């Protein structure tokens, strides 16, 4: 009876340790240290044949997302360049680029670069408004939080949330990455604001300030995020492949031997 209890305790130990290690799957660098990046890859969403969201005929201004993302990205580019960062753009004119190609650009740059993707939102619900900042990787939570806070306080946008979601551009890049939905083109107030170059300048300045703050402080003071596993956004997403690789590298090679040592000592 006693032996069975001990066996059960060992098994439980192995299970808990395995679970703890697997909780890091997909987030190999959970926290971003200060000064950990020197290059900003700015990604103006959509472009070319892909207009992105549009304002619709009932709004005060006819706006296309792809125009506003490029304009805001260029303003951001100037701001962060002035601050001393190296800057690259995924596009600098009205051209179509596949999402996977944007991800590839980020991954080619690798460590020392962060990706900031700029978007404007559109929905059938005209009351939806505000700025939302998306992230997936745990090491991007601080950057997302600081950008969201800055756009709210400096550009006067309503707080729409720091949202953890598996988007192609928040999950597949192997570097810290966030996606900012600056305003809703389909909300009358946000629509008026987004149409104003002065507003877009404030948004760009705020995003730049969020980036600068993250550079200065890293993730200090930012609460860690609970791991969660959301469904894939597209069948071709690489999650399964990456997950299997991580399992192989982390759980089988690293954790199970460790778990076995601990379990044997119980």
Question: Nearest distance from residue 119's CB to Zn ion, in Å?
Answer: 4
Q: Name the site residues for Zn ion (rule: CB under 5 A).
A: 45, 52, 119
Question: Nearest distance from residue 78's CB to Zn ion, in Å?
Answer: 22
DSSP string covering the chain: -HHHHHHHHHHHHHHHHHHHHHTTTT-SS-SPPTT---EEEEEE--BTTB---B--TTSSS--BHHHHHHHHHHHHHHHHHHTT-EEEES-SSS----HHHHHHHHHHH-TTEEEEEEEEE--S-TT--SEEEEE-SGGGHHHHHHHHHHHHHHH-PPEEEEEE---HHHHS-SS-EEEEEEEETTSHHHHHHHT-HHHHHHHHHHHHHHHHHHHHHTTTTPPPPPP--PPPSSTT-SHHHHHHHHIIIIIIIIIHHHHHHHHHH-
46 vs 164 by CB, closer to Zn ion: 46
27 vs 51 by CB, closer to Zn ion: 51
Question: Nearest distance from residue 230's CB to Zn ion, in Å?
Answer: 19
52 vs 173 by CB, closer to Zn ion: 52
Question: Nearest distance from residue 43's CB to Zn ion, in Å?
Answer: 10
State the residue number with the nearest CB to Zn ion: 119
45 vs 160 by CB, closer to Zn ion: 45
44 vs 218 by CB, closer to Zn ion: 44
Question: Nearest distance from residue 84's CB to Zn ion, in Å?
Answer: 29
67 vs 154 by CB, closer to Zn ion: 67
Question: Nearest distance from residue 223's CB to Zn ion, in Å?
Answer: 28
């Amino acid at each position: 009876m006693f032996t069975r209890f001990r066996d059960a305790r060992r098994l439980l130990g192995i299970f808990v340790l395995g679970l703890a290690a697997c909780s890091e799957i997909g987030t190999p660098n959970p926290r971003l240290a200060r000064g950990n990046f020197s290059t900003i890859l700015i990604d103006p969403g959509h472009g070319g044949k892909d207009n992105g969201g549009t304002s619709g005929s009932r709004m005060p201004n006819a706006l296309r997302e792809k125009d506003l993302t490029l304009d805001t990205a260029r303003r951001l580019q100037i701001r962060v360049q002035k601050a001393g960062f190296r800057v690259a753009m995924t596009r600098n004119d009205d051209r179509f680029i596949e999402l996977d190609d944007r991800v590839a650009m980020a991954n080619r740059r690798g460590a020392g670069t962060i990706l900031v993707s700029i978007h404007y939102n559109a929905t059938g619900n005209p009351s939806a408004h505000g700025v939302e900042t998306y992230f997936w990787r745990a090491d991007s939570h601080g950057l997302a939080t600081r950008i969201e806070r800055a756009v709210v306080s400096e550009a006067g946008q309503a707080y729409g949330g720091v949202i953890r979601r598996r988007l192609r551009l928040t999950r597949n890049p192997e570097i810290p990455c966030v996606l900012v939905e600056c305003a809703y083109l389909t909300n009358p107030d946000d629509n008026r604001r987004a149409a104003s170059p002065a507003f877009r300048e404030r948004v760009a300045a705020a995003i730049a300030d969020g980036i600068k703050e993250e550079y200065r402080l890293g993730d200090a003071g930012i609460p860690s995020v609970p791991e969660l596993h959301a469904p894939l956004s597209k069948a071709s997403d690489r999650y399964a492949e990456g997950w299997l690789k991580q399992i192989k590298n982390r759980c089988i090679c690293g954790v199970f031997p460790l778990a076995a040592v601990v379990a044997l000592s119980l």
